[in-house]
């Protein structure tokens, strides 16, 4: 492994590669480990690559478990009687394996992580028989987060769900977050608004002190006013977030600044004939306003 690589080293081997998956970006491994093999868990395998200098470094190829299927287990007849323990019946016939279930697990390959270049596609599937390892917390912390919680330019949004609490914090880079467009996509009730609220709190925290403008048509972020006197958002130099909420009744918009489609949206549903009359009337008023002297126009407003 090169000095530019991040070590995912883990002493925990969880399975053995069976072969490729349904597409070129997947592979399948076999395991009896039901505890660590969870959907969404991060695992890796190791492979050697040929280089021009002849060193042939070993790369750790990170992947994410996307599916698993039970392919072998105790006979169904053992589970039929709910009064008898399946383990007891298995022991009577001499089957004493601690993990009788065998799973086939599908992994989506993410790639080899390089500190400067990010993830790179290995373009090489794992060989059947290769060992699959559970990625370490330390390695995931370095890969998933460019910054640490509390650093300038960091936004701490939580911890990796499948690991112990706070074992793998997830920290976003604020510069990358706000320098372009961003969308929070998820199903209904999954926490999109809450996630946005956490990001706003991180942006306005003492280590970032950002200015944030929120358009809140559903009134979901009014509780952000509680940051004003909260000690978690204050700093020793006197910094405290300044939060101002403008209610709908506090906002005034001049009619002259609206176009035809703005007015159409504000009115009840109209027929095509009504829309045609409105369009003509709006066009006449607009033409009339353009012919008015500048001073007279300001008075009419």
Q: What residues does each domain of the chain span? A: 13-143, 145-248, 255-300
- DSSP secondary structure letter of residue 18: E
Residue 264: burial class (beta carbons within 10 Å; 0-12, 13-18, 19+): middle
CA distances from 95 to 102, 138, 216, 296 (A): 15, 38, 62, 97
Cα separation of 18 and 127, whole Å? 8
* Residues in CB range of 255: below 8 A, 6 or more apart: none
**pLDDT by residue, tens only, the chain of 301 residues:** 555 566 777 668 999 999 999 888 999 999 988 888 999 999 999 988 777 666 778 889 999 999 999 998 777 766 777 777 777 776 766 666 667 789 999 999 999 988 878 888 877 789 999 999 999 999 999 888 888 888 999 999 999 999 988 899 999 999 988 888 889 999 998 899 999 999 999 999 999 999 999 998 888 888 888 888 888 888 989 898 888 888 888 888 888 888 889 989 989 999 999 999 999 998 888 888 777 765 555 544 4
pTM: 0.72
Hey, what are 285's tokens? 């008023």
Helix (H, G, I), strand (E, B) or coil at 264: helix
- DSSP secondary structure letter of residue 157: E
Hey, what are 104's tokens? 């086939």
Hey, what are 236's tokens? 């020793």
């Amino acid at each position: 492994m090169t000095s530019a690589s991040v070590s995912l080293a883990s002493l925990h081997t969880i399975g053995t590669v069976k072969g490729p998956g349904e597409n070129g970006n997947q592979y399948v491994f076999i395991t009896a480990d039901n505890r660590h093999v969870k959907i969404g868990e991060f695992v890796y395998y190791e492979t050697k690559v040929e280089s021009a200098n002849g060193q042939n470094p070993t790369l750790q190829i990170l992947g994410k478990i996307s599916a698993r299927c039970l392919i072998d287990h105790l006979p169904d007849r053992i589970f039929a009687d709910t009064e008898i323990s399946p383990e007891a019946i298995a022991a009577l016939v001499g089957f004493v394996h601690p993990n009788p279930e065998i799973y086939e697990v599908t992994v989506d390959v993410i790639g080899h992580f390089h500190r400067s270049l990010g993830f790179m596609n290995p373009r090489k599937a794992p060989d059947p028989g290769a060992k699959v390892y559970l990625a370490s917390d330390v390695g995931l912390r370095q890969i998933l987060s460019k910054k640490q919680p509390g650093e300038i330019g960091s936004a701490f949004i939580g911890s990796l769900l499948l690991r112990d609490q706070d074992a793998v914090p997830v920290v976003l880079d604020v510069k990358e977050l706000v320098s372009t467009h961003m969308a929070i996509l998820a199903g209904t009730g999954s926490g999109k608004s809450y996630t946005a609220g956490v990001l706003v709190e991180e942006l306005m925290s003492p280590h970032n002190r950002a200015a944030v403008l929120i358009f809140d048509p559903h009134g979901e972020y009014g509780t952000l006013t509680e940051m004003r006197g909260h000690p978690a958002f204050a700093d020793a130099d006197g910094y405290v977030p300044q939060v101002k909420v403008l209610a709908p009744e506090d906002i005034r918009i001049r009619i002259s600044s609206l176009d035809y489609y703005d007015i159409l949206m504000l009115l009840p549903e109209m027929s095509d004939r009504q829309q045609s009359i409105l369009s003509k009337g709006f066009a006449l008023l607009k033409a009339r306003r353009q012919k008015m002297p500048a001073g007279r126009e300001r008075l009419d407003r």
